[in-house]
Amino acid sequence: MDQKWISIILLFSAVCDLTANVPHQYIFVNESKTWTEAQSYCRQNYTDLATINNMEKMKKLNSTLNERLKDTPNNSVWIGLDRGDAGKWLWSLADGNFYRDGDMYRNWRREEPNNGRDKNEYCVAMYKDNGEWFDVQCDELYTFVCYNEKKTGTEIYIFINKTKIWRDAQSYCREHHTDLASVRNQTENQQIFNISKNYSNSQNIWIGLFNDSWKWSDQSISSFRYWMSGPNKHSQNQKCAAVLLTEKGQWNNEECNNQLPFICYENKLILINQNLTWREALRYCRVKHVDLVSVHSEEIQLWVKEVAQKASTEHVWLGLRHTCTLSFWFWVSGESICYQNWAPGNGTGGEDCSPVERTGAVQSRGGQQWVSLPEDHKLNFICTTYEG
């Protein structure tokens, strides 16, 4: 093993800096601009208008905005969401990740979805008699199924024997569990249907699928939405989204020419779409940027997941290395491994070091967990551009 790696380990092995810089940050700009002007400003000075891809980030952002705007008359702030012409079916997911088209299971009843009544059928429910799906107006009152990511097996699904409109059902699931149920295959569909049959008076059942023509300015695929009561589909001029501080940070659609302050974000992670060995990737990042990325918190893992989804390889290099001499893993930037996200069977101390050392990568699809790979594999990789 190289002496320099041993020196890094000895120097930093006892350090767990959970306050280290996060490679993505929101920047509040207290200047009033139209949505398009705000977008241009963010792209020129940072990365783009803000993308908000989970509830935790929404809460943190909301707290910051309330503090910044408490002495100003503004109650709305632009974010990077606007409406296009074509809608797509998305799952309501607490972490904002969007299932790719190739991974999507559907169980529509024949001739569904049909956007039938008044062309406003943007939410999806399951028929209580057979488990097939149909699109329907979101203000219908149905029972619903939540999921809880902390549970296992069939306990992950929780049938709620109360009737609510779709968005109230979504809010209930997010407050008490994780989110409305996503259905990724026939087995999960059958599990949800079986649970509902235990309630003889159940209505049709909301699931977490909705039709959405809104898109993020930075082209990210996050499906997280936090609308107050809409968006209002009938207002053709109200095609830009803003955070409403008077409504607990929920979102509303407004006319894009309104003059509002706004939120930019700056992403300090860069995906390099070149296939290099781990050592080549490390050298590239240190010459052209700062380093291979270290993932020392769950928040950084979320940004890594978002960047890694655009990779052309199945796995993406991280700045994670194993020492066979001392039999443990470490980050080459100096942080100890306080946070871990290993895929099952990976990240053990007893790695096979023949014929080359093992290094760490993140899955670019699926669960996006970490895996142990020989350092001579050639993969895409993620560089950081920030010091700290």
pLDDT one-digit tens code per residue, 5-43? 444 444 444 445 444 455 567 888 999 999 999 999 999
Q: Which two tokens stand for residue 123?
A: 């939410």
In angstroms, the Cα distances linking 387 to 289, 291, 294, 309 are 10, 9, 12, 24
More confidently predicted of 45 and 61: 45
Residue-range domain boundaries for the chain = 3-22+268-384, 24-82+218-266, 85-213
pTM surpassing 0.75?
no
CA 162-52-143 angle, 5° bins: 10
- Per-residue burial over 293-331, b if 16 or more Cβ lie within 10 Å, else e, is bbbbbebbbbbbbbbbbebebebbbbbbbbbeeeebbbb
Q: Tell the residue number behind the tokens 């990724």, with chain if given.
A: 184
Interstrand relation of 133-136 and 179-180 (parallel, antiparallel or unpaired): unpaired
Average pLDDT along the chain = 82
Distance of alpha carbon 326 from the chain centroid: 36
d(CA 48, CA 266): 7
d(CA 183, CA 379): 32
Could you count the other beta carbons within 10 Å of the beta carbon of residue 214? 20
Q: Tell the residue number behind the tokens 């560089």, with chain if given.
A: 383
Contact 332, 321 (CB under 8 A): yes
Per-residue confidence (pLDDT) for residue 77, from 0 to 100: 93
The residues, ordered by sequence, that sit 6+ positions from 10 with a Cβ below 8 Å of its Cβ are: none
Q: Tell the residue number behind the tokens 């097996």, with chain if given.
A: 153
More confidently predicted of 216 and 19: 216
- Percent of the chain past pLDDT 70, that is, above it, reads 84
d(CA 284, CA 291): 8
- Second-level CATH architecture of 3-22+268-384: Roll (3.10)
pLDDT tens for residues 137-173? 888 999 999 998 888 777 889 999 999 999 899 889 9
For residue 69, which of 100, 39, 28 has the smallest C-alpha distance?
Answer: 28
Per-residue confidence (pLDDT) for residue 236, from 0 to 100: 63
Per-residue confidence (pLDDT) for residue 238, from 0 to 100: 84
pLDDT band, residue 283 (cuts 50/70/90) = very high
Per-residue confidence (pLDDT) for residue 8, from 0 to 100: 46
More confidently predicted of 202 and 39: 39
3-22+268-384 with 24-82+218-266: one CATH topology? Answer: yes
Q: 3-class DSSP state for residue 385?
A: coil
Distance of alpha carbon 269 from the chain centroid: 15
Q: Can you tell me the mean pLDDT for 113-132? A: 83
Contact 125, 207 (CB under 8 A): yes
Give the least confident one: 290-294, 327-331, 369-373: 327-331
CATH topology of domain 24-82+218-266: Mannose-Binding Protein A; Chain A (3.10.100)
Q: Which two tokens stand for residue 19?
A: 């306050």
Q: Can you tell me the mean pLDDT for 120-132? A: 89
Q: 3-class DSSP state for residue 363?
A: strand
Q: Which two tokens stand for residue 161?
A: 């024997």
